[in-house]
Homo-oligomer: A and B are copies of this chain.
Amino acid sequence: MVELCQIVTRLLSVCLVVCLVISVPSAEASRVRHFKWEVKHEFKSPDCYNKLVITINGKSPGPTILAQQNDTVIVELKNSLETENVAIHWHGIRQIGSPWSDGTEGITQCPILPGDTFVYKFVVDRPGTYMYHAHYGMQRTGGLYGSIRVALPDGESEPFSYDYDRSIILNDWYHKSTFEQAAGLSSIPFVWVGEPQSLLIQGKGQFDCSTPGIQASLCNATNPECSPYVLRVIPGKTYRLRIGSLTALAALSFEIEGHNMTVVEADGHYVEPFVVKNLFIYSGETYSVLIKADQDPSRNYWASSKVVSRNSTTPNGLAILNYYPNHPKRSPPTVPPAGPLWNDVEARVNQSIKIKARQGYILPPPQTSDRVIVMLNTQNTINGHVRWSINNVSFNFPHTPYLIALKQNLKHAFNQNSPPNGYDFANYDIYSVANNTNATSSDSIYRLKFNSTVDIILQNANTMTKNNSETHPWHLHGHDFWVMGYGTGKFNMSTDPKKYNFVNPIMKNTVAVQPYGWTALRFRADNPGVWAFHCHIESHFYMGMGLAFEEGIDKVGRLPSSIMGCGETKSLPP
């Protein structure tokens, strides 16, 4: 009898274990990830220089969001700033079915007032490397940003293997406040904040406190907050390093001394693997690279970020690749890598071209598009203000968010005319300083036919400075697009589309347009909502280098009242 009981008990326990093993993955598959965040101003020394930083739960960068594909992420965001509003964008998350959670102030929501708690709720529908950051005025430069890492569901695996997974965000850093930067940009005469003081690697940089004119009490080189970021590795192991850039201005090159990097993911899409010594990365982009800790394990190595595409005075950012069990603070015995030449455009274009969708994971683009919009990127003066424009129209934020205005049919809330579909191709010289006397600013938007295929040709040109054209990383909200092609000079409508890559174009949400060059991208307007598309350089967007797309507004569900409260939505019934 006792034995029978023991056997039954054993069987029962086996059953329980089996049940648990079976049930865990299905529970994981639809998990809700709940976060409570408090945003406030705190004094921090990310690069040893003490200044006011916008923190989340006391940190900048904020907490990393770890989730699995198809999880629902809920972020309860409390704004504890004193007098300043806030909004957070979930960069790379398409917000399918939740366009009101995209977090772009003026486009998808009213700002979150001090004292208010706003609930962002969205599904992370694809695995990959994403980011979040403030999307209100130039608030991102205040330090409000972090990583999102979406893993595959349990039981599924990546087409590459690694032992450990790490996220780092690269950034540039100014000592002037966001308010000072913005006020300068909108001043007459224009006051530019200049090159960043530091480059940060996962929130840590090392400004030289002995720089003349720096108040000693504000800069402390021994502050642990600004000790170099340490990436600890175990010899022989392979690491997936998820690298994102949220620079305000700088295009970067990132490298790890003595270690090649194999690029395997870009903006959430698998890349046909290729090896680089240094990774070029533009603001708004993310990459996964694999690195193997296969070098001399008796020492540490430098990791470094460097400004490219501008002849910048900003010193390189430094971090330490720490081979366990060496002391993490032990400086590598070598001089940190100098990085590539800042003006080697070709090397950067070559990397961009190498980024192709991985075999077996190719989502082929539609063969034709329904609409082509050519977007000439220019710099102008409008009413005495220096502005960036698209086809000579500089973007002004509306007072009432588009998503609400369109859904509620508030036609007077913004200019109902369509912005131009192109520019004067025949006569515009992209290599000279143009007069652009017809430049205007407007809050008009592009309205796209739902489910149509749209081609965007981003055309770069000369700025208001002779022989100068800049690099612009353009970011699209709510979608990934296929990168159809890159080129130099003026895009030729009849010949260039024939060179598009239909075989294995990568899908991305951010792509660079090189000086005097063009980038062609294609996307399906299949996500009901209103979506920003803009240069990810914070000052450029602030100065008008952006726009919004509407598609399928009639298919957008009931808007939550929490996104309202500004402009004409102030008096809308809840």
Identify the A interface with B (CB < 8 A). 40-43, 52, 82-86, 110-111, 113-116, 136-139, 177-180, 182-184, 187, 191, 213, 215-216, 397, 399, 561, 564-567, 570-571, 573-574
Contact = CB atoms under 8 A, between A and B. Distances in A.
Given A116-B566, A566-B113, A567-B116, A82 B179 contact: yes
Contact of A182 (B82, B85, B397, B399): B82
**Which secondary structure characterizes the binding site on chain A?**
loop
A52 B82 contact: no
Contacts of A110: 113
B84 A83 contact: yes
A147 B136 CA distance: 33
Contact of A85 (B113, B136, B180): B113
Contacts of A187: 42-43
Contacts of A216: 213
Nearest to A574: B571
B183 A42 contact: yes
Nearest to A542: B82
A566 B115 contact: yes
How many copies of the polypeptide does the oligomer hold? 2
B573 A41 contact: no
A40 B188 CA distance: 14
A570 B566 contact: no
Contacts of A564: 570
A109 B40 CA distance: 23
A83 B113 contact: no
Contacts of A570: 116, 561, 564-565, 574
Contact of A183 (B41, B115, B399, B566): B41
A530 B573 CA distance: 26
Given A177-B177, A179-B177, A83 B115 contact: no
A561 B566 contact: no
Contacts of A573: 573-574
8 contacts: A43-B184, A52-B183, A83-B111, A84-B85, A85-B113, A116-B566, A116-B570, A177-B177
A224 to B, nearest CB: 17
A52 B83 contact: no
B191 A43 contact: yes
A179 B41 CA distance: 8
Residue from A191, A216, A566 whose CB has the most chain B CB atoms within 10 Å: A566
A207 B496 CA distance: 62
Contacts of A179: 41, 52, 82, 84, 177, 179
Nearest to A139: B83
Nearest to A41: B183
A67 to B, nearest CB: 29
Contacts of A180: 43, 52
Given A84-B84, A565-B565, 16 more contacts: A40-B183, A42-B183, A82-B179, A83-B85, A83-B139, A111-B114, A113-B113, A113-B565, A113-B566, A114-B137, A115-B566, A115-B567, A179-B179, A213-B216, A565-B566, A573-B574
A111 B111 contact: no
Contact of A113 (B40, B42, B111): B111
Nearest to A213: B215
A527 B565 CA distance: 30
